[in-house]
Amino acid sequence: MGSVHDTNSATAGVKACSPLVGAQRLREMLKDPSKAVICPGVFDGFTARLAVAAGYDALYMTGAGTSMSRLGWADMGIATLNDMRANAEMIASLNPAVPLIADADTGYGGAIMVTRTVTQYARAGVAAMHIEDQVQEKRCGHLLGKQIVDREIFYSRLRAAVIARDQLKSDIMIIARTDARQGQGFDEAAERLQEAVRIGVDAVFLEAMQTREEMEKVCKLMGDIPVLLNVVPGGVTPEYPIDDLVKMGFRIIIYPGLCIGPLLTACKNSLESLKTNRISPKESFGTGIRDAFNFTGLEECVAIDKAAGGKAYDTVGH
């Protein structure tokens, strides 16, 4: 984690408006092989602001969290490009100086569709995106029963993504993700990623490794290419402290479910308390609503209005 970024100034949401700011910054952060970029999983504006205020220098937009929060459905390939791009654009715009790595699932179609996906993500301000080798009817990476496309279909997706990146002259990073470990073994997954590097991707992501030996091996195989690790407590990949993961060689470490569990537990408990006790629990929103408004940009909006000569928000209450 680094220093807390400016979320209170009148220009926090509009400064550094170039869509490439986050991508350029992420590439700079990855130049030091002795450090890793730590990304908490976020899925809406509130969790994104919480993560930035906590001092994280980069964010990860989880596809599972996006599907659950925007659609109310588990991550079973239901979210579309439009769902994912719109959410990514909103999160990336809150502070463009904080790089956002975003799930792009399978690229949402063939080569032409993948090109469109990369273009839209780049223009939305996304710093990096990962494309995987599951079939279109995909599912969350730590669930059983995943189906994998043939190598050439996967490579075609990646070639299309790299071509789109280069034609755009964009700094957006293309991350190749393989889910082949579960059904076809570690060697097949590693070979897919090695070919992905030859195609021209910027980083790799081997999902659902099962042992420490595999985790260390993939980092050695990839050499200078950044390797992303997905940390899912209770998933198939063993969890280790961040310092240990950095020593193994991981350069990007994401925690997709970090905000999902606490939110689920807190809201469920609060709702059940009201239902049972017939009065709102003391720890609920209550008198803290103004604090929540301030946290999500109330004072920033008032300052912008005043700077423009407006008086509409001279008195703001609830």
Cβ atoms within 10 Å of 45's Cβ, excluding its own: 15
User: Per the residue annotation, which of 105, 171, 202, 214 is the catalytic one?
Assistant: 105
User: Per the residue annotation, which of 44, 57, 89, 132 is the catalytic one?
Assistant: 132
User: Is 27 known to be catalytic?
Assistant: no
* Residue 121: CA count within 13 A, CB half-sphere: 34
User: Per the residue annotation, which of 44, 133, 179, 207 is the catalytic one?
Assistant: 207
Which stretches within the chain are classed as H helix?
21-29, 45-53, 63-66, 81-94, 111-123, 151-168, 181-184, 186-199, 212-222, 242-248, 260-277, 289-295, 298-307
User: Is 5 known to be catalytic?
Assistant: no
User: Per the residue annotation, which of 39, 140, 219, 259 is the catalytic one?
Assistant: 140
Which of 80, 56, 58, 60 lies closest to 70 in space, CA to CA? 80
User: Is 207 known to be catalytic?
Assistant: yes
User: Is 87 known to be catalytic?
Assistant: no
In order, the DSSP letters of 293-313 are: HHHTTHHHHHHHHHHTT--TT
Q: Is the dihedral of CA 73, 77, 80, 83 positive or negative?
A: positive
User: Is 139 known to be catalytic?
Assistant: no
User: Per the residue annotation, which of 130, 139, 142, 192 is the catalytic one?
Assistant: 130
Cβ atoms within 10 Å of 147's Cβ, excluding its own: 13
Left, alpha or beta for 166 (phi > 0: left; psi -120 to 50: alpha)?
alpha
CA 107, CA 160: separation in Å to the nearest integer? 10
CA 6, CA 13: separation in Å to the nearest integer? 9
User: Is 60 known to be catalytic?
Assistant: yes
Q: Do residues 87 and 70 touch, judged by C-beta distance below 8 A?
A: yes
User: Per the residue annotation, which of 44, 57, 75, 202 is the catalytic one?
Assistant: 75
User: Is 103 known to be catalytic?
Assistant: yes
User: Per the residue annotation, which of 155, 230, 255, 300 is the catalytic one?
Assistant: 230
User: Per the residue annotation, which of 57, 89, 103, 133 is the catalytic one?
Assistant: 103
CA 73, CA 137: separation in Å to the nearest integer? 14
User: Is 25 known to be catalytic?
Assistant: no
Left, alpha or beta for 288 (phi > 0: left; psi -120 to 50: alpha)?
alpha
Q: Is the dihedral of CA 169, 172, 175, 176 positive or negative?
A: negative
User: Per the residue annotation, which of 39, 57, 60, 157 is the catalytic one?
Assistant: 60
Q: List the catalytic residues.
A: 60, 75, 103, 105, 130, 132, 140, 177, 207, 230
